[in-house]
Amino acid sequence: MCVLPRGLIVSSQALDGNPLKKPEYLAVMAECAEKGGAVAIRANGYDNILEMKKRLHIPVIGLNKIVDKNGVTIITPNFEKAKEIAAAGADVIALDATFRNSEIKEAAGALIARIHNELHLPVLADISNLEEAIKAEKLGADYISTTLAGYTADKPYKPQDKYFPDFKLVVDILQSGIKIPVFAEGRFWQAEHVERAFRLGCYGVIIGKAITNPMAITQYYNGFVQAGLANDWIPTETQNPYTKDIDKVSTYEMLQMINREDATVAEKVGRKLGDIGAFIDEIFPDFSDGGRILYCGAGTSGRLSVVDAAECPPTYGVAQGKIVASVAGGKDAVFNASENKEDSFADGYEAARSLSVTKKDTLVAVSANGNAQYCLGFLSYGKEVGAHTAAIVNNENTKLSALADHTVAALTGAEVVKGSTRMKAGTAQKMILNMFSTALFVKSGCVMGNLMVNMRPNNVKLQNRAVEMIMLLTEASYEESKANLEACDWSIVDTVKEMRRKKQ
């Protein structure tokens, strides 16, 4: 009795007060959804379903919303309401399979049986929790949807989850052993959430407001307008109001809080692409003429700097001294925290002085709070000798920003755990460092297409990777690519040039 294809289902409905609450309007929206690739439509009420069936070539999941004496809306509460929408042409009947009691609500098991036996239609059970999903399958439902998760009085969704689906429930259902198709529904607003649901194993995703309710869509985007107009910078040391109860929630909810905060980082870094690009373009001439990149940092910032500096030589085939990282506390601080060392201006100054800095070099200080004395000392020496200086920070109006020639301030705000800047601030720093060094070496000719052709193939794994690159760049066979690499002493760039020369 599986009549619903796998894919995206669009709910074409409108509540009281919505100007679109007319059968002809909702039917046109449903038709648009079909043309956009929806595999089915979810619709409420006889008149709306009847009008949609005139236009659509895809199945319609029909439902009948009825308000009981307590003001609670129940989805297709009884057989008469199911029979009504079946007469309108519904291909599937959706009904309330929650454990809520209502004077208008028939027992789910009996209702499902009558719909099967008398209307000969499949049933989609709308549930709000795992226990209801398991029960619905036992009662004979053909499909399950998380439609009512967060919409029951006993467990309403939190304000911060208004645009965030209940993925925990989705995962719990999918891992419970339920055999019938599972649809994820409720608060889907981002394409990434739809993709995530399918990757988890959902049979389909049902979206309503985010597609068919212009008022709700406008409200959603207007929230970002207000955020864009506001000065939303919050210091990294502020207590985060969205995670203040992180010690009281389940493991999954804890991870959800962290994930939600992490998801904001890329956007904050994205705001600074102009600053990063201008910085790269200014220093590149000196960098390509023998200049070096000299990082400094304390704690997490220093360790991230070490990682970037260490990974560039094997990735891009450059000399070890082309990018250097200095950490407050020295090499031992890479493995053991030495936060007190960040307070020494003199240590930072001496670290820079020991590197024999020239005017062609670029000194980059990485610091979440932007005030680390070690970094200030490091940049101060660079300023004295006329080198380029830059600061990568996560706060506004910092001492490093005031000192440096260039500043990239990714304002990631309050951390999940107050003051733990190894989290969002550290993630932003890693992203910026990746962009910075990658762009420099791409501009330096170390990359063809998106292949790291300047790497040194000094082990079997890298040699195999080098052969694959030659095959991609020249369309030669494995044997020919390897033979030419060996003839060119495993230089990928020289091999490509030589093979292209021979073809001319």
List the domain boundaries for the chain.
7-224, 268-443, 460-503
Q: Report the half-sphere exposure of 486 (CA within 13 A, side-chain side).
A: 8
CA dist., res. 355 & res. 357, Å (int): 5
CATH number of this structure's domain 268-443, picked from the four choices 3.30.420.40, 3.40.50.10490, 3.20.20.70, 3.30.1360.20: 3.40.50.10490
Q: Does the active-site annotation cover 350?
A: no
365-384, pLDDT tens digit by residue?
999 999 999 999 999 999 99
Q: Does the active-site annotation cover 185?
A: no
CA dist., res. 147 & res. 98, Å (int): 10
Tokens 């599986």 map to which residue? Answer: 2
Identify residue 482 by its one-letter amino acid code.
Answer: K
Tell me the two tokens of residue 149.
Answer: 């998760």
470 backbone dihedrals φ, ψ, rounded to 5°? -60, -40
**What is the per-residue pLDDT for 149?**
97
**Beta strand 73-75 with 65-67: parallel, antiparallel or unpaired?**
antiparallel
**What is the per-residue pLDDT for 20?**
94
**What is the per-residue pLDDT for 337?**
67
CA dist., res. 371 & res. 350, Å (int): 18
- Among 106, 137, 342, 415, the active-site one is 342
In the chain the first and final C-alpha atoms are separated, in Å, by 63
Closest CA to 147 of 328, 291, 24, 11: 11
Closest CA to 38 of 16, 24, 57: 57
| Residue 64, CA distances (Å) to 79, 111, 367, 471 in order | 11, 14, 58, 60
Helix (H) or strand (E) run with residue 435 in it: helix 424-443
**What is the per-residue pLDDT for 302?**
95
Could you tell me where the beta strands, DSSP code E, fall in 49-91? 60-63, 65-67, 73-75
- Residue by residue, DSSP assigns 218-281 as HHHHHHHHHHHHS-----TTSPPTTSTTGGGS-HHHHHHHHHHHHTTHHHHHHTTHHHHHHHHH
> Please, what is the Cα angle at 60 between 59 and 62, to 5 degrees?
150
Tell me the two tokens of residue 79.
Answer: 């057989």
CATH number of this structure's domain 7-224, picked from the four choices 3.10.20.740, 3.20.20.70, 3.40.50.1100, 3.30.200.20: 3.20.20.70
Helix, strand, coil percentages (3-state) for the chain, rounded to 5, are 50, 15, 40
**What is the per-residue pLDDT for 233?**
79
**Intervals of the chain under pLDDT 50:** none
Tell me the two tokens of residue 216.
Answer: 């709700």
Identify residue 315 by its one-letter amino acid code.
Answer: T
Identify residue 133 by its one-letter amino acid code.
Answer: A
CA dist., res. 264 & res. 160, Å (int): 14
**What is the per-residue pLDDT for 338?**
61
384-429, pLDDT tens digit by residue?
999 999 999 999 999 999 999 999 999 999 999 999 999 999 999 9
- Quick one: three-class SS letters along 274-323? HHHHHHHHHHHHHHHCCCCEEEEECHHHHHHHHHHHHHHHHHHCCCHHHE
CA dist., res. 236 & res. 261, Å (int): 13
Q: Say whether 362 sits in a helix, a strand or coil.
A: strand
Helix (H) or strand (E) run with residue 363 in it: strand 362-367
- Among 84, 253, 282, 311, the active-site one is 311
CA dist., res. 261 & res. 352, Å (int): 35
> Please, what is the Cα angle at 490 between 489 and 496, to 5 degrees?
105
